[in-house]
Copies of this chain bind each other. A is one copy, B any other.
Amino acid sequence: MVIEKRFMKTSKSMLISKKELKKIVQLIPSEDDYMCGLAINCIVFGYHNKQLKVLCIRQEELTKWYLPSGHVRKDEGINQAAYRILVERTGVNNVFLKQFQTFGDVHRIPTDSELAAELDKLPAPIPEKISWMVNKRFVTICYYALVEFSKIIPRIDFFSSEWTWADVQNLPQLISGNQQMVVEALRTIRRELQYEPIGLNLLPQKFTISEIQALYETILNKKLDNRNFVKKLVSMKILRKTDEKRRIGGHRSPTLYKFNKQAYTKALKQEFEMIF
């Protein structure tokens, strides 16, 4: 979508040999290999500094940000595709990823005539090769991902030269439709906070009570009573105390906890069995 300026710079700063050009063109996803009209977007949530963050990327010359996205290969399932796209963009494995909604309004992706104009300036084989990605109507299957903030090193690729963790409470300007996707993803994780291992995936392995409480407060956007919160966690038996303490200073050192993954999984399984 925003590939052209990058190539333009390259073609100005140095002449591209035919061989190099061929190489580049080979790397560009071809229309033939992908389901047409279908896109996948990932809303990647991370948590840092008591803020819930969303991974946004952009091409540096443009003002609008967008969510990591990609297309479905003709020979892969949509869940596979979503995972592949996520890995391509973030470089992490073992990430919680879940489909939550498909968007497909007709007017969701308006014609970007500015972009279309830029296409003409590119070396010959490129515009045709990526024309299927622009000025087309896409139906977009959305997934949300929960990642441990520190583990993510977003990758730069053809479609992005910049990335940022945006605070969900203060999103930057996003391209058409992407903001709504974030809002719906947020609604979804709020609803699923009690069923899905949201905390487990957003926090590091060891964490303090106040850290997990702050996470819940951030997601739900409201203050929780500390004593009741602890009581609930204890009654659910999903926490395991460790021997370690975090020494921050200035006050009593908080105990570090781990998740009791078994109990967490069991709780989810019960929910599952209840339904059947």
Interface residues of A (CB under 8 A from B): 35-38, 72, 74-79, 81, 99, 101-106, 137, 139, 141, 187, 190-191, 275-276
Contact A104/B275 with A37-B36, A139-B38 known, Cβ cut-off 8 Å: no
Contact across chains for B72 and A104 when beta carbons are under 8 A apart: yes
Task: Write the chain B residue with the least CB distance to A138.
Answer: B35
Tell me if A's interface is mostly helix, strand, loop or mixed: mixed
How near does chain B come to A196, taking the closest CB pair, in angstroms?
13
- A78 surroundings in chain B (CB, below 8 A): 102-105, 139
Contact across chains for B139 and A35 when beta carbons are under 8 A apart: yes
In the complex, the count of this chain's copies comes to: 2
- A36 surroundings in chain B (CB, below 8 A): 36-37
Task: Write the chain B residue with the least CB distance to A137.
Answer: B74
- A187 surroundings in chain B (CB, below 8 A): 275-276
- A275 surroundings in chain B (CB, below 8 A): 187, 190-191
**How far apart are the CA atoms of A75 and B137 in the complex, in Å?**
9
- A191 surroundings in chain B (CB, below 8 A): 275
Task: Write the chain B residue with the least CB distance to A101.
Answer: B99
**How far apart are the CA atoms of A191 and B191 in the complex, in Å?**
12
- A99 surroundings in chain B (CB, below 8 A): 101-102
**How far apart are the CA atoms of A79 and B107 in the complex, in Å?**
13
Contact across chains for A102 and B141 when beta carbons are under 8 A apart: yes
**How far apart are the CA atoms of A187 and B273 in the complex, in Å?**
11
**How far apart are the CA atoms of A146 and B130 in the complex, in Å?**
42
User: A35, A141, A187 — which one has the most chain B CB atoms within 10 A of its CB?
Assistant: A35
- A72 surroundings in chain B (CB, below 8 A): 104, 139
